[in-house]
Copies of this chain bind each other. A is one copy, B any other.
C-alpha cells in the first residue's frame, strides 16, 4: 500500500528522477512519459513520505501553536482560525499547552517536537521578553499579545489601551461612575492586562472620575471562577459599584453569574462588560458587551509573519503587528 518512488519508477519503466518530477510537477516531462508515470502512481496509490521530504528539504510543513490552554474559549476560537489559515498555506498545526508554566514555556520555546516545526505561534504567559529572545531553536517565532519585546520579536496585538479606554468610555457614557476593573494581573510579565488597566484608568481620568484602588480587583487566572470570585469579593466588601469592566469575557461571565447570585439585575443595577468577544458572551443572559478583536486578522497576521520569515531573505525586521478591534455593545451594559 505504501509505495515509494522506486517502486513506481520500476512499474512505469522510468527512473526515480522522472517520477519525482511528475509528482512535484516540477521539470519538463514528455506528455506520454508523464501519463505512463501517472498511471503507475495511481495504480500503486503512491503518497509522498513526509519524513523523507522533511529530512531532505528541511521543512516539515508543521507549525506549532503554543498556548496556555486550548480549552479556553478565546484560544479555542483563535486556534480554529489559525488551523484554517494554516491549511490554506499548506501547513498542519499542532497544539502545545503550557498551562502558563514558565518551565514548560521555556521547554517548548527551546524546541517543539524535536525542532520538527517550521514555525511557532506562541502566547506566553510567564516568560519575560528577555527569556523569550534567548532560544536555541531557529524556527521562526511570532508572539500573540503584548510582550513589549523591544521590537526584537514579531508579535501580533490589538491596541489594548485604546480598546479598554473605549469600553470604559462607553460605560461612562451610559451614566456609570463607579466602575470596577476585574482582571489586573500584576504577577504576569504578559503586558496585556497592564495595558487594559492603563486604558481603563485613562478613560476615568479623561472623564474626571477618581481612580479608586478598591475598584481594581486583580485575578490569578482568567477563568470564569476567578471572575465570579472577584465579583463576590467586590460585593461582599460593600464597595459601591455600578459597572464592572472585566479584562476577559470569561471573567465577565463569572461576574455575571455571581451578580445574579447576589440578586443584582444586569444592566439595571450593574453594567457588566468583557473583552474578547467569545461566542458564550453573545448568548449570555444578558448578552455581553465586549471588545471584539478581529480574530481572523490575528490568525492571518501571525501566519503571514511566519511565512515571511521562511522566505529566502528571512523577511522584514521583526515588528509589532496591530490588528483591528471593535466595540460590541450589547444588553449587559444597557
Contact = CB atoms under 8 A, between A and B. Distances in A.
Interface stretch (A5-13, A156-164, A206-214, A278-286): A278-286
B51 A113 contact: no
- Bin chain A's interface residue count: 35 or more
A69 B285 CA distance: 25
Contacts of A312: none
Given A116-B50, A285-B285, A83 B60 contact: no
Contacts of A60: 50-51
Interface string A288-302: 000000000000000
Interface string A33-73: 00000000000010111111111000011100000011111
A96 interface: yes
Interface string A148-185: 00000000000000000000000000000000000000
A143 B238 CA distance: 52
Contact of A50 (B75, B113, B225): B113
A295 B194 CA distance: 35
A83 B112 contact: no
Given A62-B113, A257-B285, A284-B284, A76 B83 contact: no
A57 to B, nearest CB: 9
A48 B279 CA distance: 42
Given A80-B97, A253-B280, A283-B253, A51 B116 contact: yes
Interface in A1-23: 1-2
A29 interface: no
A260 interface: yes
A55 to B, nearest CB: 4
B83 A96 contact: yes
A270 interface: no
Contacts of A87: 97
A250 to B, nearest CB: 9
Interface of A: 1-2, 45, 47-55, 60-62, 69-73, 75-77, 79-80, 83-84, 87, 92-97, 111-116, 136, 138, 223-225, 228, 253-254, 256-257, 260, 279-280, 282-287
Given A49-B116, A54-B55, A61-B114, 7 more contacts: A51-B55, A76-B76, A93-B94, A224-B279, A224-B280, A257-B284, A284-B284
